[in-house]
Structure 1
């Protein structure tokens, strides 16, 4: 039986687990996995059957390089992370060579997801879930007004660039800190209003920043699988439960939100909704139209999210899944012998 060829471009280290999940699928389908990354010793490449060093390219030039890679190796399914928006914009180039791409083809939606304020506006219009109180600012005077408005409502305040990924640029305003103690301690995400205002005042304008209410309840990452028609096939809310512990939790209100997101935005394959509670109300942080960094933990629910996305891309039928909830999970490091740089990044 011919092995299906899967290609991951530059991904997080946890792609190592996604590759193994696809290999160890319940249908017994055989796969050959290809990967590229600028770092020939990157952990994700250790999960590949074939690996290659990725060039530093931008925009369409990078997309064309990926197309040529897929054509040269007769890739059946491409699972991108880097330059996902540009790949979606030019996905017809992959269609032309017969490579299926696990990506959301709605480029207008992808642009909104990249700019959190625009997506918050979209969500507020639909009413499918609650967003935090926020202001978008790009100068120090407006930053101060936003801070005063939110604190005047009795809210604690945080801020973050509108287009950052993960925790980059995220700061919490705390005016009761001890700067000297912090100087000799760990690098911190806390900052006083005066310190933030002073830094921001050094520029007449700066990139758009969301000044938001600080949500202080449990934070959930909801891993989802959906088809292109907006049918939610699986959803598993996952939260930190202290230290390295993670709880796969049965939260009906979060499962209902996942269903509404799937129906409203029709993000195909894997996507992830991040929410945090304010009292009893879950509020949106962001949505990632891709596999999350903790998806391998969520797969302990019995749902093979990476493989089922590949199965959908190849035209297979995937029935609604029945995840196991209430699982308390963790992880330990395991030593492994790395392949040498030459072995890992061999020319194919």
Structure 2
């Protein structure tokens, strides 16, 4: 039997996960389907079957996903785009016999995807440090939050509470740009005066923004594999410099990740991000899916995507033994596109 697996629009590095599933140790036969709105997406090149995704409102996009699974008799759906909107329709996918790789139920995914709700849910975990933060929707709320953080001697940043990755992230500057800034590298900075002007001109509440202390220490992503009952693997991956990554035997982060999993019983693949402030690791966010850099964590000996697939299929996966204290990097490699201009 050949298992039909569909990846909807996702990041280019997911091409690694396709290969890790294809080259599985159990000789499970798979056929990969991929869709993406960009015709030169690497995922379209990696798939056995590919097509362009339409641009649709989210309610229509969910219907598109159901129709795609029905039409192609998809056995397993790995959603990335629209994940939290797809989750409430899990029973519709079950009815057409498509298993969906969701790390939690809709309520759990909603908590994890909203940084404000996430911080509130985890604030009382012993030993877990939450960044100083406020969630605001108005100019007055923003000004109070910004002043409070400055009073504590903190640098300040702002980002949407539900954004993915670095979307919308800005470091707030007290001073406007100077002529010298034209000669410097582009940085995600914004002048406080510009933010205040934009909020004032908007004349009403905006979608929730998180105003928080700007964390400037070492950044870690802990790639996790789990069931609702237990964590099977947790690999701390440190951003060293540039493209250099270290798989670090960091007991503090593994312990904190285990405690977070007890509170939020995510399953399959998920990713917990921390940034150190001095010697203190502070929680940044949780991604309820495979992370873009998880392929580096697989150097530990854990085939994260394939083991998650096995769990979804109801097969036994034991607690993993793996190797840490590995330094790694990557380089560009050319790929000839199947589709020409």
Residue in 1 that maps onto 2:87: 88
- Per-residue deviation, 1:4: 1.4
How many residues end up aligned between the 2 structures? 340
Pair 1:31 & 2:21 matched: no
What is the distance in 1 between the residues matched to 2:31 and 2:333?
24
Please list the CA deviations of residues 126-153 of structure 1 after superposition, one character each: whole Å capped at 9, or x if unmatched: 5572210111122223222212211211
8 Å Cα contact 2:5-2:76 kept in structure 1: yes
What is the distance in 2 between the residues matched to 1:279 and 1:130?
12
Please list the CA deviations of residues 208-263 of structure 1 after superposition, one character each: whole Å capped at 9, or x if unmatched: 21111111211111100001x23101110111111110111111011011112222
Q: CA RMSD in A?
A: 1.8
Residue in 2 that maps onto 1:120: 119
Pair 1:209 & 2:241 matched: no
CA separation of 1:341 and 1:51: change in aligned 2, threshold 3 A: farther
CA separation of 1:64 and 1:192: change in aligned 2, threshold 3 A: closer
Residue in 2 that maps onto 1:298: 297
Pair 1:246 & 2:238 matched: no
Residue in 1 that maps onto 2:275: 276
8 Å Cα contact 1:133-1:212 kept in structure 2: yes
Residue in 1 that maps onto 2:140: 141
- Per-residue deviation, 1:32: 1.0
4+ residue runs over 4 A deviation: 125-128
Pair 1:47 & 2:46 matched: yes
- Per-residue deviation, 1:341: 5.4
- TM-score, reference length from structure 2: 0.94
Residue in 2 that maps onto 1:261: 260
What is the distance in 2 between the residues matched to 1:143 and 1:82?
30
8 Å Cα contact 1:89-1:105 kept in structure 2: no
- Per-residue deviation, 1:269: 0.5
298-307 vs 135-144, which deviates more? 135-144
CA separation of 1:60 and 1:127: change in aligned 2, threshold 3 A: farther
Please list the CA deviations of residues 168-211 of structure 1 after superposition, one character each: whole Å capped at 9, or x if unmatched: 11111233675211134443212333343333332223322111
Pair 1:329 & 2:291 matched: no
CA separation of 1:49 and 1:117: change in aligned 2, threshold 3 A: same
1:66-81 alignment, distance < 5 Å:
66-81=65-80
Pair 1:172 & 2:166 matched: no
CA separation of 1:201 and 1:183: change in aligned 2, threshold 3 A: farther
8 Å Cα contact 2:111-2:117 kept in structure 1: yes
What is the distance in 1 between the residues matched to 2:173 and 2:86?
41
Pair 1:196 & 2:184 matched: no
- TM-score, reference length from structure 1: 0.92
107-116 vs 92-101, which deviates more? 107-116
- Per-residue deviation, 1:9: 0.8
What is the distance in 1 between the residues matched to 2:104 and 2:239?
32
8 Å Cα contact 1:182-1:188 kept in structure 2: no
SS at match of 1:311: helix
8 Å Cα contact 2:172-2:192 kept in structure 1: yes
8 Å Cα contact 1:221-1:238 kept in structure 2: yes
Residue in 1 that maps onto 2:313: 314
What is the distance in 2 between the residues matched to 1:259 and 1:338?
42
What is the distance in 1 between the residues matched to 2:270 and 2:254?
13
SS at match of 1:90: helix
